[in-house]
Amino acid sequence: METSFAVIFDMDGVICDTNPHHSLAWKSFLKKYEIDATEEEFIAHMYGKSNSYILKYFLKRDVIGEEFMQMEYEKEALFRQLYEPEVVPINGLLTFIDDLKVNGIKTGIATSAPVENLQLILSKLPLADKMQSLLSSADVLHHKPNPEVYLKSASNLGISPQRCLVFEDSHSGVSAGKAAGAKVIGVLSTYKKEELPVCDDYILNYEGLTFDKIKTLFDT
């Protein structure tokens, strides 16, 4: 019987509140195609979605192959340019992770974002040496809500998915964590509690969150 557990973080909206900058990047990108997207459309069709889905929705056609790679790189490079001077963690995150490490908890990041975005965040925040698993969109065949990224993360961490706690902020992300069999805490940076699938708990940020508080999720 496993006595410990592991913690896996999504990135956008969970480690950093990047979504406002993703909105700016998408708006700038879509303007080239004379598409004027509303914030309501972004909430429904951008946050937590893969780039292939987003491009298909807004361009109203499949975007694949070389064209997809070029469009994705253009939009994500625009995001990195906008966000690079602004990188800050969600309140309380670094203290919470330090508390996990003091208590011997393995941690990982599992994002649907391109690896270059992950590298940007890791270059600005002291996280890389605290993570035992780092996965981006390049590491999976199937994006969230498919559980692949969380199943692979659990494997990397050497622990069963059922002994993992996932922090997620989007419908597709929460669904992926639950489908993997993990416990999920919803981070309410992007959506309200009632807009997400049912989670094991919810937080606005990490202030006051500790190892002792989350380990009770695995005591039963």
Domains of the chain: 6-16+89-218 (3.40.50.1000), 19-85 (1.10.150.240)
Closest CA to 12 of 46, 52, 53: 46
**Active site annotation includes 200:** no
Residue 1 is predicted with a pLDDT of 37
Residue type, 163: R
What stretches in the chain show pLDDT beneath 50?
A: 1-2
Residue 220 is predicted with a pLDDT of 62
Find the farthest-apart pair of alpha carbons in the chain and give their distance in angstroms, rounded. 57
Phi-psi region of 119 (alpha: psi -120 to 50; beta: other; left: phi over 0): alpha
Which residue in the list 12, 17, 99, 169 is annotated as catalytic?
A: 12
Which residue in the list 10, 17, 99, 169 is annotated as catalytic?
A: 10
**Active site annotation includes 17:** no
Task: Give dist(CA 91, CA 116) in Å, integer.
Answer: 23
Residue 161 is predicted with a pLDDT of 98
